[in-house]
Amino acid sequence: MAGSISCFFMVISSLVAFAPLSLCYEVYGGEGGSLYPQYYEKSCPKALEIVRCEVAKAVAKEARMAASLLRLSFHDCFVQGCDASLLLDSGNGITSEKNSNPNRNSVRGFNVIDDIKAALEKECPQTVSCADILQLAARDSTVLSGGPFWEVPLGRKDSKSASLSGSNNNIPAPNSTFQTILTKFKRQGLDLVDLVALSGSHTIGNSRCVSFRQRLYNQAGNNKPDSTLDEYYAAELRNRCPRSGGDSNLFFLDFVSPTKFDNSYFKLLLANKGLLNSDQVLSTKNEESLQLVKVYAENNELFFQHFASSMIKMANISPLTGSHGEIRKNCRKINSY
């Protein structure tokens, strides 16, 4: 009981603090149905509270988990739409997306999603989809880290398939060029503003040495560091990211405020202190992108507004609704198994 009360107050304090920045999107058309924030109002009225509570407990236990849960929503939506295909384990005809190059030994937070699903199944069996859980958990993680609140359109169904090739091909790599990243966003119906705003999620979280090592030692195949990386920052990074070994050593994506969702990420890009190549190219390879980085670095509120709008837009990528898909009982496997 004490735990429930504690969680309740964490949730309420977060919502009160950031409610003025909320955005409301009422209806999104999907194939055979629609998405809207009140979808579970009658079928599972405590659904949103349960998700917030479980996310709050997980983030209180480990602050890094907020970024991990937020990242799951990206890696799910960019592969055959926001359908929780990312959560499926291999077996019974499924080849898991968890084994793709962007996800293997990288994506995490699946146990938290399992805990949320278990709590929801206890409250209202086979009612709330895993796809909706991912989007709610991403929003709540953002809010708990100090970021904006937005209403999440709901009503997605879960897929009965996964796509390893889609995961390998659709998710931008940390060493991608600017044009490659933008092209992959445009394939999902997202634009330049969405790309820069959503990249701002790197204001929280960590990255492994292996994801940016080439910038420190051999960015252009000439055994020289990336010329767009601040040399003093590069020297500091090399202390814990050697030329070989230490692949899994973790580094903050935003070393100024690594657990606080704010616009310091963009200020670091302007100082040539973006950790990943895919971050730094936003300010060095495209003039329109650079201008957005500058605006967000100056205007935190505008960044929050654009981020929330882009998250809603991304969460509407090819949702399964109506009679399409299913509501999984277990997020890791389809119901027939």
Enumerate the active-site residues.
75
**In the numeric block, which tokens belong to residue 2?**
């004490």
Q: What is the CA radius of gyration of the chain?
A: 20
DSSP letter for each residue of 155-171? --BB-S---HHHHHHHS
270 phi and psi, to 5 degrees? -70, -20
**In the numeric block, which tokens belong to residue 25?**
């999107």
Cα 296 to Cα 57, 206, 229, 329, distances in angstroms: 30, 21, 20, 41
Instruction: For the beta carbon of residue 44, count every other beta carbon within 10 angstroms.
Output: 16
- The answer to whether 155 touches 316, Cβ cutoff 8 Å, is no
Q: Which residue has the tokens 């909706």?
A: 132
DSSP letter for each residue of 199-212? HGGGGS-EEEGGGT
Beta strands in the chain (DSSP E): 28-30, 33-35, 206-208, 250-252
C-alpha to C-alpha distance for 130 and 278, rounded to whole angstroms: 29
C-alpha to C-alpha distance for 312 and 291, rounded to whole angstroms: 23
Burial class of 8 by CB neighbour count within 10 A (0 to 12, 13 to 18, 19+):
middle
Largest CA distance in the chain: 62
* DSSP-derived secondary structure letter, 241: S
Query: 79: alpha, beta or left, given left = phi > 0 and alpha = psi -120 to 50?
Result: beta
Cα 113 to Cα 257, 299, 313, distances in angstroms: 26, 33, 22
